[in-house]
Chains A and B, each alone.
Chain A
Amino acid sequence: MATNRTLPFKDMGGCSISGVMDESGRRFSGEEIIRSIRNMHERSNGLGGGFAAYGIFPERADQYCMQLMFDTPEAKRETEALLDERCNVHYAEDIPTRPHEAITDEPLLHRYFVSVEPDKSRPHLDENDLMVELHMEINTTIQDAFVFSAGKNMGCFKGVGFPEDIGEYFRLEEYEAYTWIAHGRFPTNTTGWWGGAHPFSILDWAIVHNGEISSYGINKRYLRNFGYECTLQTDTEVIAYLFDLLIRKHGLPLEVACQAMAPPFWEDIERMPEREQAQAKAIRAVYGGALLNGPFAVVVGSTGRMIGFSDRTKLRPQVCARGGDRLYIASEEAAIRTICPDPDVVWHPDGGEPVVGELQAGVQVA
């Protein structure tokens, strides 16, 4: 894909993350997740905060909701011309915000509910492929326009500020979702840029991440083979793209995809039963470019699912809890107990071990 912008390199930082999923599909307001992430205020430095919410647009659940930021009206006009050319825009509006004393230099924030028609000249591409292509094209070719998210029945809300202030600014208490994930950022070498806050998203995948991906250089090159361009000044982006590649495009089962990104050590593989060992060897040999190295803990949202996992040696904190129908994953136990004082169970998953929340059988979310 042609690009007329220099593609920046990753930044680094520590962070706070929190995620809550109601596996019964019951939707709840953003007030709780704001309270949870506020509890970890010390883990961020006011240079970025953000949220992803699933199930928030049930009335338009079959359309992609593109949430974008624009630094200039020209970028908005250029993007809208591209959207008109590529897809059907069913509805568009400003993303609702409220004036907030802690939030300044806001970009233009707009959302579009769209659908795409199959491209007759390229029948091998389905609507998701076309949406990824559109997402990448806006981010790489239109100066001053950035896609926050472009998935169905979900949205990302993010910006420069402490996460609790960002949540209030975006009036998240007015939305109801069955999964909320949140992030407070402590970047160490980047200027405050709204596009650089977490979550990072592609289609309905959204990722919040605490850590640094030391393997970023090769993950980025590996993903480029498959048409993904990393453009957002952060290493977190590669995790979102890897989930999309491994699960949606390669069709790997979730546990295999997680194993590719945080595989067991060879010494553990040597002790596995024969069939399992052959499988683990093949995954490492084939998906070496997808291995995520360095300290990280992430929470990944997608339709009907929330996944937490960390690097193989667990160099960043991650605590999980269950209470009633809800699964909680956070950087600190306090961030869970502030919204769920008496959980049924609290545990610390091993490094590389995925924790998966899924909607209960038969639950419809749209």
Chain B
Amino acid sequence: MPNWLIEPDFVVERDPDRCIQCEVCVRQCANEAHEFDEELQEVFTDSTRCVGCHRCASLCPTDAISIRPAELEFRPNENWSAQAIRNIYKQSEQGGVLLTGMGNPEPLPIYWDRMLLNASQVTNPSIDPLREPMELLTHIGSKPQRLEFSGGETPQLETTLGPQLELHVPVMFSAMSYGSISYNASEALARAANEVGTYANTGEGGLHEDLRQYAGRMIVQVASGRFGVDVDYLNSGAAVEIKIGQGAKPGIGGHLPGEKVSADISATRMIPEGTDALSPAPHHDIYSIEDLRQLIYAIKEATRYRKPVGVKIAAVHHVAAIASGCVRAGADFVAIDGYRGGTGAAPTMIRNNVGIPIEFALAAVDSRLREEGIRQDAGLIVAGSFRCAADVVKAIALGADACYIGTAALVAMGCHVCQKCYTGRCNWGIATQDPYLTRRLNPNIATRRLVNLLESWAHEIQEIMGGMGINAIESLRGNRDHLRGVNLTDRELNVLGIQMAGE
């Protein structure tokens, strides 16, 4: 039966004067939108299969292809949007949960865009970071409230600091498992983190044997599926992160279909080849906060207290209390993932409707931990859609120690945010395990692009700090005086703990 209710999202246009029938587009499109007709000796396109990833247009040697949104308009209706109608067509066809990839695309407020930054004028000289030191070095881990020194002529430090992560740029690569992304993408993230002096997070898919050489700059994740977790894995990384939740899908688990579990992934995840990798919604040994404490300390014991052990949670309604509980349970850092956080696959309804904005979650958690006098007990990492250096600066001014980027890193490697990661047919070789597609991503080039991204953001962060007259990032961290709100209600300003522009 034809899918006569499935309408195309895009229209692919081929300029017949330019097209030379070379079939590059046919070979590049894993979605099979382009097809070569042997009889007619001509390439045809099925627009309904196009996901808008631009792979064919980017590689077309004669620029013959253009892609635009399908202009198949429904009668205007603010309530029954085209998306809402088409979702129902899909579900009534197949009877399943709507799936999607990447972060929440809905037109909900982006609060970063409603906060503006300060700069020096007259009373305070701005600083040129090309001529003066401009320090971004950041330490993440539990810190004592005070240091003890022995007396005598030269004071001697008596306090021993717990293990700390040391970041040269306050931006890390967020958890993306080998399985959800290709080996080449994983390798590029690991190598770039080493080169820049930051960290890449393994995600829940274990750590491939060949990537262990980069593990000194990796955070190894322990999630509910416990894939690839053994004592060597825990000890191989710079830190361990217990994943409780993810911003794109708080409260639910994950599912890597068996067809993606190749021999390599099976070895890395420590599961049989071809079996589905199911991550349960909760950890089945964590049903409350005291259980979390046990897992934190089990991992600390296993790693001989040499690694920071943190907890990643999704930003949900009572995030401040939950984060406080994690810190009191012994977490050396807490990572909070906002409702715009990305994913390889999530039910659309969950991704688009569950969780809260990271801006509010961060402001609430930082304030709460300070009120309780435990802010120095743990580092605070935030995730959930950092698009540019200014977003990072604003997050640090609100109180974060560092940010995780996922989507931005994928985009640096070529991702076009087509939201089809869950199909396994990523034409850019990132979110796929198909060897025909994965070899499109050259890990050397991808590494260089990731390094370039972080270095350019670092320069921009330094420029912004210099403008503020601040030369060390610890003076920006939690310094909400350097933020002003626009387009915000009193209540929003209040939760963010910032003043209105003009005040």
Contacts and interface: CB of A to CB of B under 8 A. Distances in A.
Q: Do A and B bind each other?
A: yes
Given A265-B133, A293-B475, A286 B481 contact: no
Interface residues of A, number: 46
Given A214-B120, A286-B376, A253 B149 contact: yes
Contacts of A288: 472, 474-475, 477
B307 interface: no
A289 B474 contact: yes
Nearest to B124: A212
Interface string A254-293: 0110000001011100000000001100111111110111
Nearest to A222: B478
Interface in A214-268: 214-218, 220-222, 224-225, 250-253, 255-256, 263, 265-267
B470 A255 contact: no
B370 A256 contact: no
A72 interface: no
Contacts of A212: 123-124, 469
Contact of A214 (B139, B148, B469): B469
B471 interface: yes
B76 interface: no
A313 B477 contact: no
A83 interface: no
Contact of B123 (A13, A216, A218, A253): A13
A315 interface: yes
A291 B472 contact: yes
Contacts of B161: 282, 285-286
A217 B149 contact: no
B482 interface: yes
B135 interface: yes
B137 A266 contact: yes
Contact of B478 (A14, A218, A293): A218
A313 B499 CA distance: 30
A315 B479 contact: no
Interface in A285-321: 285-289, 291-295, 312-313, 315
A268 to B, nearest CB: 9
A12 to B, nearest CB: 4
Nearest to B120: A214
Interface in B115-169: 120, 122-125, 127, 132-133, 135, 137, 139, 143-144, 146-149, 151, 155-157, 159, 161, 164
Task: Decide if the interface of chain B is mainly helix, strand, loop or mixed.
Answer: loop
Contacts of A251: 148-149
A285 B123 contact: no
A221 B124 contact: no
Contact of B157 (A211, A222, A278): A278
A282 B147 CA distance: 8
B480 interface: yes
A268 B120 CA distance: 26
A188 B122 contact: yes
A342 B148 CA distance: 43
Interface string A34-74: 00000000000000000000000000000000000000000
B157 A279 contact: yes
Nearest to B473: A288
Given A282-B159, A293-B470, A293-B471, A224 B370 contact: yes
A9 interface: yes
B125 A256 contact: no
Contact of A9 (B164, B478, B481): B481
Nearest to B146: A250
Given A212-B123, A265-B135, A284 B375 contact: no
A282 B149 contact: no
A263 B479 CA distance: 18
A283 B370 CA distance: 20
Contacts of A214: 120, 124, 468-470, 475, 482
Contacts of B156: 279
Interface string A10-30: 101110000000000000000
B105 interface: no
B95 interface: no
A115 B115 CA distance: 49
A233 to B, nearest CB: 14
A252 B149 contact: yes
Contact of B370 (A225, A291, A295): A225
Nearest to A287: B147
B370 to A, nearest CB: 6
A250 B159 CA distance: 13
Contacts of A287: 147
Contact of A291 (B133, B139, B475): B475
B373 interface: yes
A250 B155 CA distance: 14
Contacts of A289: 474, 478
Q: Most chain-B CB neighbours within 10 Å: which of A217, A265, A292?
A: A217
Contacts of B479: 215-218
Nearest to A279: B157
A22 to B, nearest CB: 25
Interface in A198-218: 211-212, 214-218
A312 B376 CA distance: 24
A12 B478 contact: no
B401 to A, nearest CB: 10
Contacts of B122: 188
A278 B156 CA distance: 10
A266 B375 CA distance: 23
A141 to B, nearest CB: 20
B471 A313 contact: yes
A101 B434 CA distance: 88
Contacts of B164: 285
Contact of A286 (B125, B147, B478, B499): B147
Contacts of A312: 471
Interface of A: 9-10, 12-14, 188, 211-212, 214-218, 220-222, 224-225, 250-253, 255-256, 263, 265-267, 278-279, 282-289, 291-295, 312-313, 315
Given A282-B157, A288-B472, 10 more contacts: A10-B481, A214-B124, A217-B480, A218-B475, A250-B146, A256-B147, A286-B147, A286-B161, A289-B474, A291-B472
Which 3 A/B pairs are nearest by Cβ-Cβ distance? A217-B481, A288-B474, A215-B475
17 contacts: A214-B468, A215-B470, A215-B474, A215-B475, A217-B482, A221-B478, A256-B149, A265-B135, A266-B133, A282-B157, A285-B139, A285-B164, A288-B474, A289-B474, A293-B469, A293-B470, A312-B471
